[in-house]
Structure 1
Amino acid sequence: MNIASAIQFGALVVVAVFTLVRLPLAVQGRNPMLFWGLAATTVGVALSIPSIYLPVDAWLGGENHANLILRYATYGVVALIGGSAAAAFRAPQVQKIILGLPGLVVLAATVTATTVLFSMGDMPVSSPGLNGYMHQEHIWAYSVLGRIYPAYIAACLIIPAFRVAATAGRPALLRVGSALIGVALAEILTWSVLWVTGRQTGVWDYILPHSSVIVLTAGLAAVAYYGIAARNKQKQSLLTPNYTR
């Protein structure tokens, strides 16, 4: 197994485990948006691995519809997790940009354009990452668009993430989680910019997006654990006999 495959499967295991951990909490109604974002991440990471992509795409007809599902999953990931992160960072304006009317308009336009560009391509044989079809203008534009939307969400969140991480008065666990999320967002931005500008990134085209998934999941886990601990502490305070409002 080479380094690219190792980090791909590593990212899949990390996000799948955290998704399963969040499932009981989501059933209880505790931040289900985070669970669905993680579930979409699991699907997206799985479909980015050739040994999973090829049989799934063959089952779908062998014309790269699995890549279209990967794109939809990616958009869902960044929208849902982006909204959850904005709430955790107490950035209502950023949350509005992501999940409010402006953000939903951007998301709808992105999904529509992605679908149209995909339908205009000629891709009769499965090709992971569509690497065999990048000479087609419509497919190249489709691939660029698939990186622009995550970069847009990352750009919206990166300043709030590092601002929370740098705030001395905030709890340590929240600051660590926010810093990890900020690093993951920086990786996403770097990967998107390098790819769109045509830079030859080699193995980094696998390392940057998949390591960002691992770092982002660790950051979300830290922030989620902080939220659970803070909620439990508040419940204990309310039950204390000497508690005064």
Structure 2
Amino acid sequence: MIEILQWATLAVCGLTAIARVPSLLRGENRSPFYIFALMTLAILLSIEAPYVVIDQALGGINLANLLLRFVIFATIFFLGIRVTKGFGAEGAYRLITGRAGMIVLLAISVAMVAVFFLMDTAGSSAGLVGPARRDARNAVLVEYYGAAGRAYPSYISLVLLPAMVRAVRSRLPVLVRIAAGLLALGGVAIALSLLFPFIPRSWDAVEFVVNYTAVLCFVIGLALIWAARVQNGKSMGRQRTSTEK
């Protein structure tokens, strides 16, 4: 079930990125393509088979996991910029791109890299399952590393949440309000990932469901915003044609 969810999410992200290629080639609204492409890479790096192949090419010490974390950071950063600009959330934009946001990103990144190199990471293992089972010290360090990796996406999600709630309650077009609701749900799912260390090991499947729910909510939410823009553009085109007649 988990594997099906992973590959299905990869397919959705990949197809959505491909759908944005024509706009990319025309030089129109390029940021959604980069966001979807980064999401696709992140999902690919989270699946066991491609993860092992990529990590073996990087030396077999789970550098692919560190790469995955920074790909996620980049994705959520650009997603945050895109959403704040689209919804006119200037305060949230400053919290992401301003001094506070940069300090949060730098501090979390340094902590994450430091903990990574304190671990014994030998042996490619998606999700660092192998290193976590090596000994008690490694298990604790893997938890700290995972917490650091979830901290920055959670920060961005919580910064975006008030703007998304306002958008849902506004008089914006229905598609945009649905998109805002999905983005808010995805943000809540990411924030809930901070509770993962308190979830029993027997509930590991819950972590996958929460993570992939967040990804799918973000992908579908952004796709709906794109659809709303296309629909609005067609409406404006029809209005102009009617005026010309």
TM-score of the alignment, normalized to the shorter chain, above 0.5: yes
* Aligned-residue offset at 1:215: 1.9
Residue 226 of structure 1 corresponds to 228
Q: TM-score, normalised by structure 2?
A: 0.89
Residue 113 of structure 1 corresponds to 111
Q: Is 1:11–1:211's contact at 8 Å kept on the other side of the alignment?
A: no
* Aligned-residue offset at 1:70: 0.3
Residue 213 of structure 2 corresponds to 211
2:16 pairs with 1:15: no
Letter in 2 for 1:157: L
Judged with a 3 Å threshold, the aligned counterparts in structure 2 of structure 1 residues 30 and 109 are, in CA distance, closer, same or farther, namely farther
* Aligned-residue offset at 1:20: 1.1
Question: Which blocks of at least 5 consecutive residues in structure 2 are unaligned?
Answer: none
SS of alignment partner, residue 11 of structure 2:
helix
Residue 183 of structure 2 corresponds to 181
Question: Which blocks of at least 5 consecutive residues in structure 1 are unaligned?
Answer: none
- What is the alpha-carbon root mean square deviation over aligned residues? 2.1
* Aligned-residue offset at 1:102: 2.4
Residue 33 of structure 2 corresponds to 35
Per-residue CA shift, 1:116-169, capped at 9, x if unaligned?
A: 2222222111121112223424433221100111111111112211221121x2
Q: Distance in 1 between matches of 2:49 and 2:16?
A: 22
Q: Distance in 2 between matches of 1:26 and 1:98?
A: 25
In the alignment, which of 149, 152, 159 is matched to residue 149 of structure 1? 152
Letter in 2 for 1:70: L
Judged with a 3 Å threshold, the aligned counterparts in structure 2 of structure 1 residues 109 and 239 are, in CA distance, closer, same or farther, namely farther
Q: Distance in 2 between matches of 1:101 and 1:26?
A: 30
* Bigger mean CA offset, 3-12 vs 233-242: 233-242
Residue 87 of structure 1 corresponds to 85
* Aligned-residue offset at 1:236: 5.6
Specify which structure has the higher proportion of helix. Answer: 2
Q: TM-score, normalised by structure 1?
A: 0.89
* Aligned-residue offset at 1:77: 0.8
